[in-house]
Chains A and B, each alone.
Chain A
Amino acid sequence: MLYEMFSSRMFGVCLRYAGSKEDAQDILHEGFLKIFEKIEQYAARGSFEGWVRKIMVNTALEKYRSQYRMVRLEDEGRESDEKNHEDLADNITVNELLLLIKELSPQYRVVFNLYAIEGYTHKEISDMLDISEGTSKSNLSRARSILQERVKQYYNQTVKVG
C-alpha cells in the first residue's frame, strides 16, 4: 500500500522542512492527500518515489509560505522554535543534525534543504520561492555559515564531554 511504503521516508522529509513536529504531521497529511488525488497524473517519468517526494516537498513549501506570510522574518533567527526532547530511535548524529536544521530561520532552512539536500539550482529555487537568485545565494551562504558554526560547537562539546 502506498502509504505504508512511503510514509516513514516522507515523514523524514517533512521533519526537515517543518518548524515543529505538528507542522511535519500537517505537511505529511496534506502531501498524501495530494498524492492520492494526482496519482493519475503520474506519467511514469522518472522514479515514482521521486515523484512522491516532489509532491511532499512542494507541500512543505506551501506550509512554509503560509506561515512565512503571517510572521515576517525579522532577521537571522537562531533560536529554534521548539526544543525536541523526544528520544528518537536512530543515531544521535542524525537527530542532532535535524535539530540544527530546525534552529535555522524558515527561509534559510528551506533554501538549504532545497539546495544542499534536494539538489535544486538557485534558478529553480528562485522560481519555487519567488525570490531572486541573489537572495537564494545569500540565504544559502548564511545558512551554511550558521550550520558550520553550530556543528563546530557540537563537536567541541562532544569532544569535551567525550
Chain B
Amino acid sequence: MMEDINNIDQLFRSNLSSYSEKPPEELWSSIEKDLAKNRKRIILPLYFKIAAGIIVLLGLGTITWNYLRVKTDDSQVAIFQSPSIQQSDIKPIENSAIVSSQIQTEDQKKVIATQKVAEKKNDPGVASQKPFIPSSEQTLEQSITHDEVQMTVQPESESTIILAEEVVETPVSNTTAESIVVEEKEVTATTKNDLIIQQNLLALEQEKEESDNNPSRVWSVGGQAGPQYSYRYVDVKEPDVYLNNANKNQYENPILAYAGGIQIEMEPSTRFSIQSGVFYSKIGHQREYPDNDMRGEDIAEVFDPSMEEVNYIGTIAPNKQINNFYNTDLTNIDISVSSVERYLEFLEIPFIFSYKIINKKLDMDISSGIWADLLIGNKAYITTGASNTDEYSNKNIGDFNCSASIGFGLYYPLLEKLNFSLKPVFKYYLSPVNTDPATNVYPYSFGLMSGLRYTF
C-alpha cells in the first residue's frame, strides 16, 4: 500500500514537474499592455503620501499655534497704553457696583460717578451730601463689573475724561431728584495717568485673586470601561512570496471584547493634561471554518496532544487531553470544527497627553499616549460540532508589549466636581505579540470607553 502511494507521487512528479506547453501567442501582448498601465499607477500613491504628510504637518502646526495663542490670552494682563481706555480689558470682580463718571463741565477735571441704582432715596438732602460734587480732588470708587460696564474713555479735551455707560442723570442741583447711593470704596483718580495706573493695579490684583482661587495644577481621578472591537495586522518578516499578507488576512475576523481601568490625571495648565493609571484589556480575533468538514479520524489526528494547530498569532496547544474520537463507523460521524477564537488579556499602564480643544460646559479633548502591556491571560476556544467548546492556550506569545493610542474625550458635568466621560479610542500595538520568527502580529482595537471623572 505504501509502495503504491509513493509510486503515485513519483508517477505524477516525474512526468509533470517539468511539463512545458506553449501558451497562446496573444498572451504576451496583453501582459505588455498591463505592465505599461501599472507603471503609471505607481506614481500616484506617492503623491497621496506627500499630501497626507502635508496635511498632518498643517494639523500639528494649527494645534501648536492655537495653544500658543490661547496661552498668551490666558496670561494677559490689562495694560492701558493709550488715553483711550478699554474698560472691557479690566478683569471682573463680583459684587461690585458700576462706577462710571461723566463730566458735565468741560472746564474742569471732573469725575462724576453714576451708578447702578441700588437704592433710591427720596431725600433731597442726601443729594447734596453725595460725593458727586465735581471736584478735581474727587474720590471715586471703582469696582467694575465686566458684564455691566462697557466704558470707553474718549477725551473730549485734554482736561476731561469721560467714562460713559449707563448714565443715570443726576441733576446735582435739583434737590428733589433722587439721590444715588454710592456703595463702593473710593479710588483717587485725579489725573488721567493716575486713573490708568489705578486700573492696572486693580486688574493685577484681580488676576492674583483668581489664580489663588484656581490653583494651576488640577488633579482628577476616574474610572472607565467599555467594549472594544479588535483585530490584528500581520506582517510577514521573511520575503517569501507565499506567506503574503493577503493570504494571512483573508480568513480571520475581528472580535468584540472589552477593556477598562482607573485613571489619574494632572492638568499643569488649562488646556494640557497628563494621564496615567492601570487598565485591563482583552483583544483577539476569530476564525470560522465553514468549509472544512472534518470527520472523526481527522479530529483525532488534529487534536491529538502531539499535534498543534498553527496559526499566525501562535500555535494552539491543548491544555488537556482529548479523548480519541476514533470510531470504526466514521461515515456517520460528521464532526466539524466550526470556529476558533483566540484571546489575549493584558494589564496595561498608560502615559497619555491630552489637549483640550473645547473648554466649555461640554469639554472635549484629543489625546495620545503610549502603553506598557503585560500579558496576563491567553486563551483559545475551539468549537466543534454544534456547540462543544474546548479551551486551549496560544503558544509563542510574548509577555511584554508596547502599544500606542489616539482618541477623543468628551466630558459632561454631572455635579460640581464630577464629570461623565465618553472616550472613543484607537489602540495599536507597536511590538508584535507573537514570537514566531516568520511573521509579526500587531493587534489593534477600536474602543468606546465611558466612565466618571472626579476633579479635586
Chain A residues within CB distance 8 Å of chain B: 3, 7-9, 11-13, 15-16, 25, 28-29, 32-33, 36-38, 41, 43, 51, 54-55, 57-58, 61-62, 65, 68, 72-73, 75, 88-90, 93-94, 97-98, 101, 112, 115-117, 123-124, 126-128, 130-135, 137-138, 144, 147-148, 151
Given A29-B30, A41-B239, A127-B243, does the pair A144, B19 have CB atoms closer than 8 Å?
no
**Counting CB contacts under 8 A, is B5 at the interface?**
yes
Q: How many residues of B contact A (CB 8 A)?
A: 49
Partner of A144, one of B5, B21, B34, B299: B5
Query: Which B residues are in CB contact (< 8 Å) with A16?
Result: 16, 19
Partner of A116, one of B13, B290, B301: B13
Query: Which A residues are in CB contact (< 8 Å) with B27?
Result: 7, 25, 28-29
Ordered by A's residue number, 27 sampled pairs between the chains whose C-beta atoms are within 8 Å are A11-B22, A11-B23, A12-B16, A15-B19, A15-B21, A28-B23, A29-B31, A32-B31, A33-B34, A36-B35, A41-B239, A55-B241, A57-B242, A61-B247, A93-B15, A94-B19, A97-B15, A98-B19, A117-B12, A124-B242, A126-B310, A132-B302, A133-B309, A134-B294, A134-B298, A134-B301, A135-B298
Chain B residues within CB distance 8 Å of chain A: 4-5, 8-9, 11-13, 15-24, 27-28, 30-31, 34-35, 38, 239, 241-244, 246-248, 250-251, 290-295, 297-299, 301-302, 307, 309-310, 337
- Asked if A138 and B310 make an inter-chain contact with CB atoms under 8 angstroms apart, the answer reads no
Q: Which residue, A28, A41, A55, has most C-beta atoms of chain B within 10 A?
A: A28
Minimum CB distance partner of B28 in chain A: A3
Query: Which B residues are in CB contact (< 8 Å) with A37?
Result: 38
- Asked if A12 and B18 make an inter-chain contact with CB atoms under 8 angstroms apart, the answer reads yes
CB distance from A62 to the nearest CB of B (A): 8
In the assembly, what is the distance between CA of A67 and CA of B294, in Å? 21
Count contacts between A and B, CB distance < 8 Å: 138
In the assembly, what is the distance between CA of A115 and CA of B17, in Å? 12
Given A54-B242, A131-B292, does the pair A151, B11 have CB atoms closer than 8 Å?
yes
In the assembly, what is the distance between CA of A124 and CA of B435, in Å? 18
CB distance from A33 to the nearest CB of B (A): 6
- Asked if A12 and B31 make an inter-chain contact with CB atoms under 8 angstroms apart, the answer reads no
Given A43-B239, A132-B309, does the pair A117, B17 have CB atoms closer than 8 Å?
yes
- Asked if B244 and A58 make an inter-chain contact with CB atoms under 8 angstroms apart, the answer reads yes
CB distance from B191 to the nearest CB of A (A): 83
- Asked if B309 and A65 make an inter-chain contact with CB atoms under 8 angstroms apart, the answer reads no
- Asked if A148 and B4 make an inter-chain contact with CB atoms under 8 angstroms apart, the answer reads yes
- Asked if A116 and B22 make an inter-chain contact with CB atoms under 8 angstroms apart, the answer reads no
In the assembly, what is the distance between CA of A98 and CA of B307, in Å? 34
